[in-house]
Amino acid sequence: MEVLGAVVTADGAELYVLYQQAPDGTEELHYVHRDSSGILEYAHSENGTLTTPDEPARVIDLPFAEDKRWIYSIAEETYEVDCLFPETLWLGSGIHFDCWKIAVRDAATGESEYRWFKNGVGLLKIVRDSLSYELIDASTTEPSAVHCLGWEDRESTMAIKVGDRVVVQLPAERDSGYEWTLSAYSPDNVSLLDDGLFLADLGQSNDGTSAATGTFVTQFKADSPTSTGEPIELELAYAPAWDKTESVYTFTLWLVISH
C-alpha cells in the first residue's frame, strides 16, 4: 500500500490517499482521515468504482483493548471488528513492531481477514484468504511531497527528492461556477501524472476539470535533480475549461530537487 498524498476536503479534513494493488490486478484507493480516536474512511474505490458512505466509517477505533468490538458500514456492506490480542510482529523486511492483531468480518458473507495495526505507524500486515500484504518500509509515513495551494497563494518554495510526487491542490473559486484546467506548466525536471489516482473531489475523477464545488488537483513527479541549492521554477497556469487559450490564474512553486 502506497501513500500517494493528501487531499483537503471542503470541511477542512485532510484525507490521505492510499493506493493498493493485489496480485490479481485489482486496484484500490482508500481516502482516510486520522484523528486521536483512530481512522475514518471517507471513500473507497475498487478498479475505478467509487463507494462513498453517507457518514465517514470508523475503520479503526482507538484505544485498543482485548475483546473490544466495533461495527462500521460502507455503502450496503457491514463489518464487525474484534480486537484479538497484542503481539510482536516480525515482517519479511526484518523490522518488527509491538502491535495489535484484529479480525474484520463481513457480516453478510461471514468472511474474515486479519490485520495487524500499530498506532502511529498504521497497518503493518493484512491476511485475506491466500493473500498477504506487509509493510515494506516504515522510515516515513508520507513518501509523497504534498503542497496544498490556496487562492491567496502566488509563490511558494519546497524541497523534494527525485521520485517524489508534488500534489498541487487548487480550491474551486467560490460561487464563480468556473471549471478549471491546467493550460501550461514548466520545466523539464518534473512530469505531469494523469493516471487518475487522485480525485478532484470525492465522487469525481480528476479528468482535467473539476466542479466549482470541489477542487482541482494536479500531480507531478520529480524526474531529475536540480543544481545543489538552486531552486527551479514550476509555473502553473490555469484557465477556464471552456477557454484554454487565456490563462486567468498563475502560480509559481520553487522546487529544490535532490537525489
Judge if 164 and 217 occupy the same domain: yes
Judge if 31 and 113 occupy the same domain: yes
State the Rg of the chain over Cα: 20
- How many separate domains does the chain show? 2
- Tell me the torsion sign for CA atoms 90, 94, 98, 104: negative
d(CA 24, CA 67) in angstroms, rounded, equals 34
Judge if 100 and 151 occupy the same domain: no
Looking at the DSSP bridge assignments, the partners of residue 125 are 116, 134
d(CA 167, CA 155) in angstroms, rounded, equals 15
Judge if 27 and 86 occupy the same domain: yes
Judge if 212 and 253 occupy the same domain: yes
Judge if 101 and 164 occupy the same domain: no
**pLDDT the model gives residue 142:** 46
Judge if 158 and 77 occupy the same domain: no
**pLDDT the model gives residue 207:** 42
Mean pLDDT by 10 residues, the chain (259 residues): 68 77 81 89 82 88 95 89 95 88 95 92 87 73 56 74 76 54 75 63 44 60 82 78 65 84
Judge if 41 and 88 occupy the same domain: yes
pTM of the complete model: 0.64
What is the span of the domain harbouring residue 232?
Answer: 145-258
Q: Considering the domain boundaries, does residue 140 fall inside one?
A: no
**pLDDT the model gives residue 63:** 94
Judge if 123 and 169 occupy the same domain: no
CA distances from 71 to 74, 135, 174, 207 (A): 10, 25, 37, 35
Q: Considering the domain boundaries, does residue 139 fall inside one?
A: no
Judge if 76 and 158 occupy the same domain: no
Q: Considering the domain boundaries, does residue 53 fall inside one?
A: yes
Judge if 129 and 149 occupy the same domain: no
Domain final residue, candidates 102, 134, 166: 134
CA end-to-end span of the chain: 23
CATH (domain of 153): 2.60.40.2020
Domain final residue, candidates 72, 105, 134: 134
Q: Is residue 70 within 8 Å of 62, Cβ to Cβ? A: no
